[in-house]
Structure 1
Amino acid sequence: MKKAMIAMSGGVDSSVSAYLTKKQGYDCVGVTMRLYENADAGLCSDRTCCSLQDVADARSVAFRLGMPYYVLNFTQDFRTAVIGRFVEAYLHGATPNPCIDCNRYMKFEKLMRRAKELDCDIVVTGHYARVEEQDGKYLLKKAVDETKDQSYVLYDLTQQQLAHIRFPLGEMHKTETRKIAEEQGFINAKKRDSQDICFVPDGDYAKVIALHTGETCPQGNFVDSEGNVLGRHKGIIHYTIGQRKGLGIAAAQPLYVSAIDLQSNTVVLGSDASLYSSKLIAERFHWISGEVPHEPLRLKAKIRYRHKEQWATVWPIGTENAEIVFDEPQRAITKGQAVVLYDGDIVVGGGIIC
């Protein structure tokens, strides 16, 4: 009998994934990754993915399914690989997506390594995405339920990882997931989905950054595109491209953050029109096929999780970078976010906007 490790967050999605995998005949073991201590987030909250309640919920489902269950401590790894990168990005004027780093360095690196040590054949998660094999290659595809699709945060998966990953919910809609959980009497059947970054549950990024650096980000000037001073900002970590709220600047027309200048410690404000651009460069680019194209590609590109992908031409630059030129200008292309490429419902690859 093949053995499966189920990554259980305590939520309904991973719980139903466990049920479906066990139903397929796998010998299953459930694990919850303990990723951070309360002190790392600067508060105690029951709304995060690592709370005691989440562990209790995951354990309850595992017990109901007759599965062994363990909590694995990855707090030090998470502090370095995810929180550390998150802090550094903000300090360098970028707006990161830590869920991508968590998937890359924790769920599909550390966890898969642990699964191998325990002789598990596959790792199963509650992500809404699909994996298909075609002509000896593995494809990462969008979920059937596009309102829940999470392929954007999974673009960094390798061929070797895709060969040993299962996403049981990829062919389902969320309503079906809830229904199965209720039918099985799972304690978390009606539990709401987490909307927060797990280690920033109250949305106060600056507090977490100060906690991990021991420093306060210096204030500086708001300026317009010509360098005229418009007021004072409270530190670059408080701002992201396209932001309008919380600027504290009185002006005849709405102002938005259009650029962040690290060297001068200034935040540039401009009109909505100043936020549009047709071109970007992405670094740390990952092609899911494992092969770098030798010619430009016509694909659709997505510049943030909730962004609707748009037609673009993609030029590979060496093996690690890519230039992407959109057919139409896109609003608020933001340093630190991921750009992900799609060919229909197939994820071609992605990288970090620089």
Structure 2
Amino acid sequence: MSGGIDSSIAAVLLRRAGWNVEGVFMRNWEAGIESDGDGVSYTTGLSNMNGVSDMNGVSDMNGVSDMNGISDMNGLSNMNGISDMNGVRNIHGASFAGNIRIKNNQKCTIDQEYRDAERVANILKIPLRRVNFVREYWQNVFENVIHEYSRGRTPNPDLLCNREIKFGRLMKWATDHGYQKLATGHYARIHEHNGQKYLAQAADLTKDQSYFLANINVTCLSSVLFPVGGYTKSQIREIAQSVNLGFLLEKPESMGVCFVGKRPRFASFLKEFMVPQPGAVIELETDRVLGMHDGVELYTIGQSLKIGGMPSKMYAVSRKGSTIYVSCNKYLCRGN
């Protein structure tokens, strides 16, 4: 239960069908994990480590606030909450090593979402558990997102998140704790043919999410329920109003990267996790330099670019090093 309308009404529908329902709230993104280093996830209570020369094999440093000048941090596995690592030269084992900048002022809604989920659970009189998959999300989903963007490709984090986290880690957690079924608020359905279960589109095609579930292990389907999949969004809203959950109608629909949320400027968000390489923007057909960009990792093949003075929209069609080649013909798009 995310605190949103769809997962909340899924719980309502399950109770109506006679299921013994318990809610679970997943925390998959940590408010404050906003960095341009990768492969570091968890640090505990130190305030200053200025000038340390070697921290080989350290496994947990939650809450360090200053690590200026450290020269070697080989093998760190867990560094959550670091606010300053200016001058760190070497962090072995990090896939995308860089200056780690943790933003303490991230406007994350995770706590509000939990309060909303708790409010729904109280109204429905069902237990609500909390699970934390922050590290798993970072390692199995977000590292892949950064890697794909660094190569000029546009990933779909929701596909990975559903496979690795919701129907991977959470499914295992549910099984280990003795639950028969895992239900979510996805708009999708499960059909059975000749004893085999298949993922199918939702009744409301305007809200269908079966595409985002396409990569989950098919064996999961025997243990999964999609209660809202047979309803339209308008019907779900009507049900919410009828069961004293009308406050959910005031919440905006969840958008953006799975669990990370919608960002006003996604490129700026990505800069927190990688060191951008600026370079030239060159017209493919003429080799004419049209301008400079602020980071090749922030542009994906096929992306449109606004370039002043050009009569038509331009598209990123190729990359070479830190150079982006553009053309008004988007069908020329190709990889590196």
Match of 2:315 in 1: 257
Aligned letter for 2:331?
Y
Per-residue CA deviation, residues 150-199 of structure 1 (Å, 9 max, x unaligned), is: 11111112221111111111111000001101110014243221122242
How much does 1:140 deviate? 0.9
Alpha-carbon contact 1:240-1:257 (below 8 Å) kept = no
User: For the residues of structure 2 that align with 1:40 and 1:208, how far apart are their CA atoms?
Assistant: 11
Cα offset, 1:200, TM superposition: 5.1
**1:20 is matched with which residue?**
13
Q: Which among 20, 29, 32 is matched to residue 25 of structure 2?
A: 32
* Aligned residue number for residue 175 of structure 2: 116
Q: Is the 8 A contact 2:296 2:324 kept in 1?
A: yes
Cα 1:266–1:255 shift into 2, 3 Å: farther
Residue of 166, 174, 180 corresponding to 2:225: 166
Secondary structure of 1:112's match? helix
Percent identity, please.
31
* Higher-strand-fraction structure: 1
Given that residues 196 and 203 in structure 1 are in contact (C-alpha distance below 8 angstroms), is that contact kept between their aligned partners in structure 2?
A: no
Aligned residue runs from structure 1 range 297-308, under 5 A: none
Structure 1 residue aligned with 2:304, among 231, 234, 244? Answer: 244
**d(CA) in 1 for partners of 2:238, 2:150:** 44
Q: Matched residue of 2:22: which SS?
A: strand
Give the 3-state SS of the residue equivalent to 1:40 in structure 2: coil
Which stretches in structure 2 are left out of the alignment for 5+ residues?
A: 35-102
* Corresponding residue of 1:140: 199
Q: Which has the larger radius of gyration?
A: 2
Give CA-to-partner distance per residue, 1:233-268, whole Å, 9 cap, x none.
Answer: 2112222344335x34422x213224231x432212
CA–CA separation in structure 2 for the residues paired with 1:200 and 1:265: 28
Q: CA deviation at 1:20?
A: 0.6
For the 8 Å contact 1:17–1:126, the answer to whether it is kept is yes
1:267 maps to which residue?
A: 324
- Report if aligned partners of 1:13, 1:177 keep a CA contact under 8 Å in 2: yes
Cα-to-partner distance string for 1:87-108 (whole Å, 9 max, x where unaligned): 1111111111111111111100
Q: Is the 8 A contact 2:3 2:115 kept in 1?
A: yes
Equivalent residue number for residue 90 of structure 1: 149
Partner residue of 1:155 out of 214, 218, 229: 214
1:211 partner letter? E
Q: More displaced, 228-237 or 79-88?
A: 228-237
Residues 239, 257 of structure 1: 8 Å contact kept: no
For the residue of structure 2 that corresponds to 1:101, the secondary structure is helix
C-alpha contact 2:187 2:226 (8 A) present in aligned 1: yes
TM-score (ref. length: structure 1) = 0.69
Offset of 1:66 from its aligned partner? 1.9
- Report the equivalent of 1:45: 107
2:128 alignment counterpart = 69
Q: Is contact 2:277–2:297 with CA below 8 Å preserved after alignment?
A: no
Task: Measure, in 1, the Cα distance between the counterparts of 2:261 and 2:112.
Answer: 17
Are the aligned partners of 2:301 and 2:316 in contact in 1 as well (CA < 8 Å)? yes
Aligned to 2:265: 204
> TM-score, normalised on structure 2?
0.73
Change (3 A) 1:222 1:200: farther
Note closer, same or farther for the CA distance 1:34–1:146 as it changes in structure 2 (3 Å cut): same
SS in structure 2 at match of 1:25: coil
> In angstroms, what is the RMSD of aligned CA positions?
2.1
Q: 1:67 Cα shift? A: 1.2
**Letter paired with 2:198:** L
Q: Residues 85-133 of structure 1: CA distance to partner in whole angstroms, max 9, x if unpaired?
A: 1111111111111111111111000000000011111110000011111
- SS at structure 2 position matched to 1:28: coil
Give 5+ residue unaligned stretches, structure 1: 1-7, 278-331, 336-353
Greater alpha carbon shift after TM alignment, 56-65 vs 219-228: 219-228
Task: Tell me what 1:281 maps to.
Answer: none
Query: Which residue of structure 2 aligns with residue 219 of structure 1?
Result: 278
After TM superposition, give the deviation of residue 230 of structure 1 in Å.
Answer: 2.2
- Equivalent residues of 1:36, 1:78 under 8 A apart: yes
The number of residues matched between the two structures is 264
